[in-house]
Structure 1
Amino acid sequence: MTDRNFSDVALLITHFNRSGSLRRLLSKFQELECSFAEIIVSDDCSKPEHLQKLEQMKSEFNFVLVTTPVNKGLGNNINKGQDRVTKPYTLYVQEDFVPKAEFPMRFADALELMDKHADMDIARFYGYVPYPYTLPFERGFEIMNFKLWYPGYLKFYSYSDHPHLKRSNFLEKFGRYKEGVNVDIAEYNMCLAFLKNGGRGFIYPRISDLFDQLNNADEPSTAAYRKDWKLSPNIFVRLLRKAYLQYKALKYHKDFLAYPKPESEQVKNYNNG
């Protein structure tokens, strides 16, 4: 049986107004017999009734609760949670995800691969769509193979806010998450920073095998609602979408070329060292 005591890993969970989902996530890790060196729950100024439940859950699940007096968005929530991590690796999961039965074995594989390959910065376990350009790696994982001349815009999402394992000095190498902006913009900026600073990572290609993302009417998704017009069979809508995707690809290329590397000397020294 795979060793499920991950003594070098901090579990970092970002939370906002979904204490029931958080309980479900932590309970599932217990059910799968996964234990971590530390658990950090970073809350983004949830309502009092959810904060009360988090306080009640602290001793039951043995986690550190990091709070803020005002809502500051996902970027700040990840930053302040990551600041409390003391272990060399971080497993990041948002509270509405649920690990599946295959996760512990694949996570153990990913952790060993990160130990073995010092040039790898991140291992991804979920995505809405598969990463478009990959190379064979090890143990069923694939390396995300970013090349600027590859077509499309999805190649820029080597980084994702979906469940992933990263080295805990991630912010030192790539800079902190952009704060005070929409969640999608914060993620997109980290994608650019990751690639601009030579980030490398691998992904499990069967992206629905390791996690489910679950929401219900009591605790709905807090992400912005995305219309499904892209599924419309209308020929005019499809032509508009095609033109939009071409524009988006051009914009992403322009943003990437213009995106500066972090000015922090610490980041520069890390990348040069």
Structure 2
Amino acid sequence: MKHNFTDTTLLITHYNRSGSLERLLATFADLNCQFHEIVVSDDGSRPEHLNYVISLKEKFTFNLVTTPVNRGLGDNINKGQEAVKSPYTLYVQEDFQPSAIFPAHFEDALEFMRADSSLDIVRFYAYFIYPNLKPFKKGFSEMVFSFWDMNHIKFYAYSDHPHLRRSSFLQKFGKYPVGINVDLTEYAMAISFLQKKGKGLFFNEFTKLFYQINSSAEPSTMERPNWRLSKNPFIQLARWGYLRYRWVKNSLDLVFRKPRAI
């Protein structure tokens, strides 16, 4: 069965993981997903990876957007999004892979977006469930921001993980900041999303539509400490204190940080 998403561009950001990119493109092809266009935005990959990406254009049809030097994820998303010409964008980083059930649920997400002009984003994957969800329909819930909820994850109604969004996203929420840490880039957009009253849906079974795959040949470019899983009481106490600090800091940023220019 073919799935024609003629009003949606698949935007993939890539950096030094050409094998992962090939797997992602092949999976969408195997699922018979056809888009208005596929845009691959490369962030100054090493020659061996960039040359392989260029060779993939013989097998998969896509628009390759490049830069001579690495400028970080923010710039990579900005230039990729600016190349999109369709009303909607499916954003996926190259180390993810859609599951067999993804197309049907993506059709639902597009229907929601087309029917509700106030809807900005539909999220398909996360490490943690969004803390405040209002049941919507067809397995999706609306994300509801509650200021006094002490869960710091509430600030991430926006996330860089796979999601559907309007292609006018940058016009409403501003461009991604450039030249800073990846986590800070995501955080800045998350705060902007809340400041500008972004509205989004979250897929309830958020581990079933996409899988994040990090092989030994192409490991993740991000290294994060896994101290949240430690059973050490001193580490747990330190984490509790840190998360309370994060809640205060993020709340102050939300209230007092100057909104970024469009």
TM range (shorter): over 0.9
Please report how far the alpha carbon of residue 263 of structure 1 lies from its aligned counterpart in structure 2 after TM superposition. Answer: 3.9
In 2: Cα distance, 1:40 partner to 1:4 partner? 18
What code does the residue aligned with 2:249 have?
A: K
Please report how far the alpha carbon of residue 188 of structure 1 lies from its aligned counterpart in structure 2 after TM superposition. Answer: 0.1
In 2: Cα distance, 1:137 partner to 1:117 partner? 13
What code does the residue aligned with 1:58 have?
A: K
Identify the match of residue 243 of structure 1 among 234, 241, 244.
241
Please report how far the alpha carbon of residue 231 of structure 1 lies from its aligned counterpart in structure 2 after TM superposition. Answer: 1.4
Aligned equivalent of 2:129: 130
In 2: Cα distance, 1:210 partner to 1:146 partner? 24
Count of aligned residue pairs for this structure pair: 262
Q: Which runs of 5+ in 1 are unaligned?
A: 265-273
What code does the residue aligned with 1:195 have?
A: L
Residues 57-84 of structure 1 deviation map (CA, whole Å, 9 limit, x = unaligned): 1131110100000100000000000010
TM-score normalised per structure 1: 0.94
Aligned equivalent of 1:55: 54
In 2: Cα distance, 1:167 partner to 1:25 partner? 22
Aligned equivalent of 2:12: 13
1:111-260 equivalence runs, <5 A:
111-223=110-222, 225-260=223-258
What RMSD, in angstroms, separates the aligned Cα atoms of the two structures? 1.0
1:87-106 equivalence runs, <5 A:
87-106=86-105
Aligned-partner SS, 2:57: helix
Aligned-partner SS, 1:60: coil
Q: Which moved more, 1:228-237 or 1:152-161?
A: 228-237
Aligned-partner SS, 2:59: helix
**Residues 179 and 263 (structure 1), Cα distance of their counterparts in 2 relative to 1, 3 Å cut:** closer
Retained in 1: the 8 A contact 2:139–2:205? Answer: no
In 1: Cα distance, 2:211 partner to 2:85 partner? 28
Please report how far the alpha carbon of residue 259 of structure 1 lies from its aligned counterpart in structure 2 after TM superposition. Answer: 1.9
Residues 59-115 of structure 1 deviation map (CA, whole Å, 9 limit, x = unaligned): 311101000001000000000000100000000000000000110000000000001
Aligned-partner SS, 1:137: strand
Aligned-partner SS, 2:201: strand
In 2: Cα distance, 1:259 partner to 1:58 partner? 43
| Identity over aligned pairs, percent | 53
Please report how far the alpha carbon of residue 156 of structure 1 lies from its aligned counterpart in structure 2 after TM superposition. Answer: 0.5
What code does the residue aligned with 2:27 have?
A: K
TM-score normalised per structure 2: 0.98
In 1: Cα distance, 2:181 partner to 2:259 partner? 21
Aligned-partner SS, 2:142: strand
Q: Which moved more, 1:20-29 or 1:251-260?
A: 251-260
Aligned-partner SS, 2:78: helix
In 1: Cα distance, 2:53 partner to 2:217 partner? 17
Q: Which moved more, 1:252-261 or 1:206-215?
A: 252-261
Aligned-partner SS, 2:134: strand
Please report how far the alpha carbon of residue 11 of structure 1 lies from its aligned counterpart in structure 2 after TM superposition. Answer: 0.4
Residues 194-244 of structure 1 deviation map (CA, whole Å, 9 limit, x = unaligned): 110010000101111100000111111011x11112211111111111111
Aligned equivalent of 1:268: none
In 1: Cα distance, 2:240 partner to 2:202 partner? 27
In 2: Cα distance, 1:175 partner to 1:232 partner? 37
Aligned equivalent of 1:267: none
What code does the residue aligned with 1:63 have?
A: F
